[in-house]
Amino acid sequence: MSTREIRDVARFDAPPGGAESGRESPTGQAAQPAAPAGGGGWRSPFRAQGIVPQGATFLLGPFVFVVMGAFVAGTALYSNVAYGQPLPVAYAKALSRLVTSSLFRQTWSIVIIITLMRVGLEPTARTIRGLFAGDVRSENWERSSTYLILREIYRPVELLLYAGMTAAVAEGVLPTLISVPRAAMHHIMRTILTLCVIVSAALVVFKIKDRALREAAWQFELSG
C-alpha cells in the first residue's frame, strides 16, 4: 500500500476532533476544536478570543500623564528662560492653564472611557446577559449574538475614541503652533471625526455580516 493510500485511509478512519479535524478554517488557520460543551458541539474557531483584543494594554493613562507632565515642564522652562519668571511660579501657571483647559477635560474623559471599556465591558455585558437569559456558562456566552456584536464593535469604537482624543489635542495645540485660526481648525477636526464615524459604522456592519456568514459556512461544513 502506498503512502498516499495509507494517508487516505487514516483520514477516512479519523474520529471527529482527531488530527484530521485540524483542517483549515475559513480564517486561514487550523481549526483547533475545543472540548464539547454540555455533551455536544465543538466551539467555533471564530470565538477563540475575548471582546477586548489581547494586545490592548492599560498603559494609556500613565502615558498621557507623562506627556502632560512633560508639556507643563517644558512650558515652565520656556517661561523661565524667555521671560525670566521664577521656575516655581512658571510651573504653577503652566499647570493651572492645563488643568483648567478644555483639552485636559476632553483627554482624560476619553482615557477614562477607554479604560472602563477595557476593564468592565465584557464582564458587565456577560452579567447582564446572564440575568436576562439565566445562563452564565462560558461556552454559551461565546456563542451568543451579544458576544459577536460587541467583539466586532469594540475595536472601531476604541479607534474612534483615539481619533477624538487626537482631534482634541490638535484643536488645542496646533492653532498656537502654526498660526491657524481656531475656528478653521475646529471645522477641520469635526469634519475628520464625522468621516471617522461613518467609516467605523460601515466597517462594523460589514464585519458583523462577514463573520456571521463565515461562521454559518463553517458550522455547515462541520455538520457535513
**pLDDT per residue over 86-133, tens digit each?**
999 999 999 999 899 888 999 999 999 988 888 888 889 888 888 887
Spatial CA neighbour of 53 closest among 162, 139, 161, 152: 152
Spatial CA neighbour of 208 closest among 196, 200, 198: 200
- Does the residue 220 lie in any domain? yes
What is the domain count for the chain? 2
Q: What is the CA radius of gyration of the chain?
A: 26
Domain-terminating residue out of 50, 75, 100:
100
H helix and E strand count, the chain? 7, 0
Decide: 24 and 30 in contact? Cβ < 8 Å: yes
| Same domain as 82, residue 178 | no
pTM of the entire structure? Answer: 0.68
| Same domain as 181, residue 110 | yes
| Same domain as 108, residue 93 | no
pLDDT score of 95: 92
Burial class (CB in 10 A: 0-12, 13-18, 19+), 167: buried
pLDDT score of 85: 87
Q: Determine how many CB atoms are found less than 10 A away from the CB of residue 148.
A: 20
Tell me the per-residue pLDDT of 109-118, one tens digit each, with 9 for 90 and over.
Answer: 999 998 888 8
Domain containing 90 equals 58-100
Decide: 141 and 147 in contact? Cβ < 8 Å: yes
